[in-house]
Amino acid sequence: MITPQHSRATRVQLIKRAIFILLGASLVAVGLEIFLVPNNIIDGGVVGISIILSHLTSVPLGIFLFVLNLPFFFLGYKQIGKTFALSTVVGVAVMSIGTTLLHPVPPLTIDPLLAAVFGGMILGVGVGMVIRYGGSLDGTEIVAILVNKKSPFSVGEIVMFFNLFILASAGFVFGWDHAMYSLIAYYIAFKMIDITIEGFDESKSVWIISDSYREIGEAILDRLGRGVTYLNGEGGFTGGEKRVIFCVITRLEEAKMKSIVEDYDPKAFLAVGNIHDVKGGRFKKKDIH
């Protein structure tokens, strides 16, 4: 049995990864110092803890961001790998330096709602870039992975618990109105992270079961330009043989897909699901007609 060898990233790939991690970390620094921090609005995780500690001690935010993330560099190295740990170190270092350099810059707005909305958007895009290219700017995810192995809770549930506790702490430090603005910023950042990682042109998997599978498949090929795969299936209730059509489309093509299936078999079974990543095959966009 031949074990596949791990291929090293090319120089172009490494440069591209470095550029986007630097850009993402810089955007996070802008979101923090130009929008959130001057308006006493925090984010979740280590960033939120750092903002609170910086406010209470008057120590620069960048120092807390770097020092509090140090233990997670080593955990990330052991749990995920050297590339992840190095990318995280670079990202956190740039974020920390960026917040220090931008601290004297006056905020663009003193309206807490505008600061929460736009700060959350910029922060989310920056964090999403870093995650998409193999790094991290917050150690709570690594802690959640470790705790998840010894608890019945998922990684997402553990992270949410940490962040709710941190955001609630902001109420005692900055006041409850600022804690609520922080929750708005956190939610917007969370959604922007998803959009940045997955992209606007989200892919979808489609499963179709119909006796008119051949006609539907040919129509998908002709009218959507998408490749299809025919799978053999068996009905669990009837025990009869079934043919299943599988294909991948974009979100914008979903309505046309449903129209095609409706034209050939209104009673066909149709299931559509989200896909975060598509590689290989013949997934190329063609004109819809």
Q: Helices 61-79 and 82-102 sit at what angle, rounded to 10 degrees? A: 170
Q: Please state, in angstroms and rounded to a whole number, the distance separating the CA atoms of residues 35 and 13.
A: 32
What pLDDT, on the 0 to 100 scale, is given for residue 131?
82
Count the alpha carbons within 13 Å of 119 in the hemisphere toward its beta carbon.
30
What pLDDT, on the 0 to 100 scale, is given for residue 4?
46
What pLDDT, on the 0 to 100 scale, is given for residue 126?
92
What pLDDT, on the 0 to 100 scale, is given for residue 98?
94
Q: Please state, in angstroms and rounded to a whole number, the distance separating the CA atoms of residues 113 and 107.
A: 13
Divide the 289 residues of the chain into consecutive groups of 10 and give the mean pLDDT of each group.
52 86 94 93 88 91 90 72 80 92 91 94 90 80 67 67 84 89 90 76 84 91 87 80 88 84 91 75 53
Q: Please state, in angstroms and rounded to a whole number, the distance separating the CA atoms of residues 181 and 123.
A: 15
Which residues are registered as beta bridge partners of 275? 203
Quote the pTM value: 0.71
Count the alpha carbons within 13 Å of 39 in the hemisphere toward its beta carbon.
28
Q: Please state, in angstroms and rounded to a whole number, the distance separating the CA atoms of residues 181 and 164.
A: 13
Longest dimension (CA), the chain: 72
Are 101 and 27 in contact by the 8 Å Cβ rule? The answer is no
